Amino acid sequence: MQIQAREQELIEVFAEAFGLPAQSVDIDVPLTEMGADSLQLFEVLVPLQQQFGVKLSVRQFFAELQTIRKLFDYLHEQSIHHGAEAISDIPEKGVFKWMRRSAEPVETDTRQRYLASFIPRYNQRTGQSKAHAKAVRQRIADSRSGIGFKGTTKELLYPLVCNEYDGAKVKDLDGNDYIDMTMGFGTHLFGHAPAFIKLALARQLEHGFGLGARTDTALEVAELLCEITGMDRVAFVNSGTEAIMNAVRAARAATRRNHVLMFSSSYHGHWDAVLASADPLRSGTTSAVSIGIPQGMVADVSVFEFGSQAALEFLASHGEQVAAVLIEPVPTRDPGLVDPTYLRALREASRSVGALLIFDEIVTGFRAHPAGVQGLFGIEADIVTYGKTIGGGMPLGVIAGRKGTLDAIDGGPWQYGDDSYPAVEPTFFGGTFFQHPLAMATAKASLIEVRRRGIDFTEALNERMRSFAARLNELFASYRVAIEARSFASFMRLVHRENMDLLYYNLILRGVYIWEWRCWFLSAAHEDRHLEQVYQAFADSFEELRSQALI
Ligand SMILES: Cc1ncc(COP(=O)(O)O)c(C=O)c1O
């Protein structure tokens, strides 16, 4: 019984990391086939070490420890050989029953047979992208090349290489056309290479694009930004990550406090200090999400669940230490988490303790509403970050602040002809490519387009997304597949617990481009006929998978 409890504990580690109910975890299915990808496998390494005292590498999950059963046997052996805490000494926590899929071997055979015919078909159609990926891996260290790695689908794992972009379409090296449902991870709200962006770039190119001296376009962009979003001052950087980094630094400088509250549902880019997760084993503590990030980088961060009372309680009890509450107001990872009441509660709670509320609107800005989620729900954050859409395809990040929240960036405004001076103690801020003339030119063009189209455009696009997701949900129900399309504004995610790789590869084969992290974006360039093609690709994929007894 004690051993069973330990097995159950092991299952729970994987269930937590993979987002699966523990009862559905089959200990004989290879870990890499449970819907997990190699990044999720990394997430179990720390809890395994903490709970079982054994240091493992992801490589072992692909080699000798492919299933939970094999891993358990290994852990058991280790505890005997090394005199570590014997597995049987651990008090029982619960009763466990092995879960088995009744038809599991048949299913696996069916899948393998299908893959044996599918892989050559897919490789033949996208052969040049595959050849390119092979060469690239030797020279370019790119996390994209390993996302979703699983032994059985390894031969399908390569990003498409595309070199023609137009409207809602892209063309790959083999000359195949795709309806792009990735749209630059949400960047291309107006479609690929719209005429007004090309024109803005061409005009700027005529004048050159030097750095050093400032470009006058930056002020026009700042004025437009403040007019559309209602913010007071802005600062320009080159990416969303830099916007977050500087927003947090400005908030810490403005409040002279260090602590930051974050939410597990949010992604805020690749700055060390926001690559943090709540430690599931030690309540109230935070861990860095991967090796390479010193624990000290996340020491001043607490991570909560979106919607949790605990975050509000933390503010009430430790508010005087909190510099900022950082949140994606509707997370791109889970568009189902739409809760204006909670956002308002955070607004009030942070204001009452003098902490700044930072909305990360890098995806939702200009997309949910011209003024982003702030405009949609009528909630005013103190600092807001923008990225993606704002650059019109060029790399650009923006930090926007109300009142004096950004004054530590430059000491605050001062005037000529009097005795004023930069009176606010400055923090560090600077970057070679900040206010790049090409990015300023495209940002100006994008913002003029946002203003020209106005709220009618965002509302209509949001409605098209909502009805497309609803149609897909009907289709999923008619094929009895356990997928739910969840949308917010003009983006969507498909939520499923089972491994759906075969569906995604089928969609790509049928001319729908969806990237490895699978967030779907609509743009102004997507017409009904494009969405019809995507819908048909889903229906045809399901037909094929059903004919092979795979759904
Ligand atoms: C909500 C959010 N914040 C921040 C970032 C980081 O932006 P970037 O990738 O431009 O550094 C992203 C990127 O996907 C994002 O989605």
Per residue in 157-197, pLDDT (tens digit) is: 999 999 999 999 999 999 999 999 999 999 999 999 999 99
382 plus 338 within the same structural domain = yes
36 plus 180 within the same structural domain = no
Nearest to 35 by CA among 487, 518, 545: 518
305 plus 371 within the same structural domain = yes
How far does the centroid of ligand 1 lie from the alpha carbon of residue 385, in Å?
A: 10
Higher pLDDT, 432 or 284: 432
CB 498 within 8 A of CB 101: no
Grade residue 93 by pLDDT with cuts at 50, 70 and 90: very low
pLDDT at 145: 82
182 plus 200 within the same structural domain = no
Counting ligand 1 atoms within 8 A of each CB, the residue from 362, 385, 521 with the most, and so the one to mutate, is 362
CATH number of the domain enclosing 78: 1.10.1200.10
How far does the centroid of ligand 1 lie from the alpha carbon of residue 114, in Å?
A: 37
How far does the centroid of ligand 1 lie from the alpha carbon of residue 330, in Å?
A: 13
How far does the centroid of ligand 1 lie from the alpha carbon of residue 525, in Å?
A: 23
Residue 468 is assigned to a structural domain of this protein? no
How far does the centroid of ligand 1 lie from the alpha carbon of residue 188, in Å?
A: 14
Residue 269 Cβ inside 6 Å of ligand 1? The answer reads: yes
Q: Which residue, by CA, sits nearest to atom 4 of ligand 1?
A: 268
Residue 386's SS3 state is strand
Residue 462 is assigned to a structural domain of this protein? no
Residue 529 is assigned to a structural domain of this protein? yes
Q: Which atom of ligand 1 is nearest to the CA of 388?
A: 10
Q: Which residue, by CA, sits nearest to atom 12 of ligand 1?
A: 269
Residue 361 Cβ inside 6 Å of ligand 1? The answer reads: no
Q: Which atom of ligand 1 is nearest to the CA of 361?
A: 1
Residue 300 Cβ inside 6 Å of ligand 1? The answer reads: no
Grade residue 383 by pLDDT with cuts at 50, 70 and 90: very high
Q: Which residue, by CA, sits nearest to atom 3 of ligand 1?
A: 268
At residue 319, does pLDDT exceed 50?
Answer: yes
CB 323 within 8 A of CB 252: yes
Rounded Cα distance, 343 and 412, in Å: 29
How far does the centroid of ligand 1 lie from the alpha carbon of residue 268, in Å?
A: 5
Range of the domain at 58: 2-101
CATH number of the domain enclosing 333: 3.40.640.10
CB 505 within 8 A of CB 517: no
pLDDT (tens digit per residue) in 357-373: 999 999 999 999 999 99
Residue 185 Cβ inside 6 Å of ligand 1? The answer reads: yes
Q: How far is CA 528 from CA 103, 418, 450, 465, in A?
A: 41, 60, 21, 11
227 plus 375 within the same structural domain = yes
pLDDT at 467: 98
Rounded Cα distance, 4 and 486, in Å: 37
Based on the structure, what is the number of domains in the chain? Answer: 3
269 plus 354 within the same structural domain = yes
Residue 222 is assigned to a structural domain of this protein? yes
DSSP 297-348: GGTTEEEE-TT-HHHHHHHHHHGGGEEEEEE-SS-SS-TT---HHHHHHHHH
Residue 118 is assigned to a structural domain of this protein? yes
Q: Which atom of ligand 1 is nearest to the CA of 241?
A: 11
Residue 463 is assigned to a structural domain of this protein? no
158 plus 177 within the same structural domain = yes
How far does the centroid of ligand 1 lie from the alpha carbon of residue 545, in Å?
A: 34
Q: In the predicted model, what is the mean pLDDT of residues 394-411?
A: 97
Rounded Cα distance, 260 and 491, in Å: 28
pLDDT at 87: 42
CATH number of the domain enclosing 542: 3.90.1150.10
Mean pLDDT of the chain: 91
How far does the centroid of ligand 1 lie from the alpha carbon of residue 375, in Å?
A: 20
At residue 1, does pLDDT exceed 70?
Answer: no
208 plus 156 within the same structural domain = no
Q: In the predicted model, what is the mean pLDDT of residues 322-326?
A: 98
85 plus 18 within the same structural domain = yes
Grade residue 11 by pLDDT with cuts at 50, 70 and 90: confident
Between helix 309-318 and helix 340-353 the angle, nearest 10°, is: 10
Grade residue 52 by pLDDT with cuts at 50, 70 and 90: confident
pLDDT at 38: 65
Q: In the predicted model, what is the mean pLDDT of residues 313-327?
A: 97
pLDDT at 37: 66
Higher pLDDT, 262 or 26: 262
Percent of the chain with pLDDT over 90: 75
Residue 166 is assigned to a structural domain of this protein? yes
115 plus 90 within the same structural domain = no
